[in-house]
Amino acid sequence: MKLYCIKTENCAYISFDGKMSPYIDFPIEDYLFDGKMAEKTNKRDWAKIKELPTVVQKLVPETCKRSGYKLKDGFPITENTPATLPVVDGWDTPDDDYIHFPKDKFEYFPLYEETLITTESSWENIEVEFVVLAEIKNFEFVSVNYGVKHRLIDEIEIHPALLQEKPCSLTADESFKIIRQHIKLNIDPKVAYMNDYSSSLTVYKHVELIDPMKMVPLFSKSKKPKVTYQKHDKWQVYSIGTDKGYSEIPKFSGKNLKDLEKNIKTYLNDLMKMINNPVKECPCCKGMGVIEGEKS
């Protein structure tokens, strides 16, 4: 049996196929490595052990095997109904049941019950070949929920489990989805709002007016139309998209996957700090500028 391995300074990561499959769980409970079970990781098909073991054991499950048939209590032992009967090769009954009861005694089948032999589970030593993919001092798996692009040459030459250590990037579409979702979840509606479309978005801040603007309806049947006052104006502070007139969508990248995550986090934190920083109209120039950092 082969186990693929990535060795680090403090541990080793192991996998049966080493292909970063999202559908295969490493069977942690079925193996012992120097007497200890492996630990789960955030990659389903990879497990973590302290070091490459000298002894690997596999669990042999408990088994329950049919050993024969015995006459049920209360029925007499006779030539036709002996106390026990052996297991025979399976055959189909007239009712299409597949049984291992002696065919010549089938008419007495209802008088018998199975006897079973149970074997307890145990651990057996197995031979394992460890295929070391790489030795990386501070390696640890990075888990992300978005599609990452790598250079074609790296995808050809590098094992999938090690691609996270290579330069990577996101498409503009993937970056847009991340930015839009983050703004939606973190925007302060008292400070700003977002106009959101399929391929573009714009963020506006609420600007408190020093002198509220009087709003009188142009068309009203009433002799005294209702007068309202607009206390806030809007100020565009962020706009990205693929359509004309929008700023280009940033394409996140990094020297490796961990660096990419760091760059995304830094960008989003700085973006939300700017968006959620409240502003109000400057009392000196009244409309020509705003004052940041003051709540309404």
Total structural domains within the chain: 3
- 176 and 265 in a single domain? The answer is yes
- 178 and 195 in a single domain? The answer is yes
pTM: 0.69
- 17 and 89 in a single domain? The answer is no
Q: What is the pLDDT of residue 296?
A: 45
For residue 97, give every residue at least 6 positions away whose Cβ sits within 8 Å of its Cβ, in sequence order, or none: none
Q: Of 26-30, 77-81, 231-235, which gets the smallest average pLDDT?
A: 231-235
Structure tokens at 118: 């149970």
- Residue 51 resides in a domain: yes
- 84 and 190 in a single domain? The answer is no
- Residue 189 resides in a domain: yes
Nearest CA to 233 out of 265, 269, 261, 192 is that of: 192
- Residue 152 resides in a domain: no
The answer to whether the CB of 249 falls within 8 A of the CB of 240 is: yes
- What does each C-alpha distance from 264 to 32, 173, 176, 237, 259 come to in angstroms? 39, 14, 11, 19, 9
- Residue 83 resides in a domain: yes
- 42 and 106 in a single domain? The answer is no
According to DSSP, the residues that pair with 131 across neighbouring strands are: 4
- 212 and 278 in a single domain? The answer is yes
Q: Which domain holds residue 71?
A: 63-120
Nearest CA to 163 out of 13, 19, 1 is that of: 19
Q: What is the pLDDT of residue 30?
A: 93
Give percent of the chain above pLDDT 70. Answer: 85
- Residue 146 resides in a domain: no
- 136 and 202 in a single domain? The answer is no
Q: What is the pLDDT of residue 156?
A: 92
- 71 and 179 in a single domain? The answer is no
Give the CB-side neighbour count of residue 112, counting CA atoms within 13 A. 25
pLDDT digits (tens, 9 = 90+) for 191-221: 999 999 889 999 999 887 766 666 556 666 6
Distance CA 115, CA 99 (A): 14
pLDDT digits (tens, 9 = 90+) for 85-138: 999 999 998 888 899 999 999 999 999 999 999 999 999 999 999 999 999 998
- 210 and 79 in a single domain? The answer is no
- Residue 100 resides in a domain: yes
pLDDT digits (tens, 9 = 90+) for 246-270: 999 999 999 999 999 999 999 999 9
- 103 and 201 in a single domain? The answer is no
Structure tokens at 2: 């082969």
Burial class (CB in 10 A: 0-12, 13-18, 19+), 288: exposed
Nearest CA to 161 out of 58, 49, 41 is that of: 41
- Residue 77 resides in a domain: yes
Distance CA 25, CA 55 (A): 22
The answer to whether the CB of 282 falls within 8 A of the CB of 293 is: no
Structure tokens at 224: 């005294």
- Residue 285 resides in a domain: yes
- 112 and 136 in a single domain? The answer is no
pLDDT digits (tens, 9 = 90+) for 154-169: 999 999 899 999 999 9
Pairing assessment for the beta strands 279-281 and 200-215 based on DSSP bridges? parallel
- 52 and 69 in a single domain? The answer is no
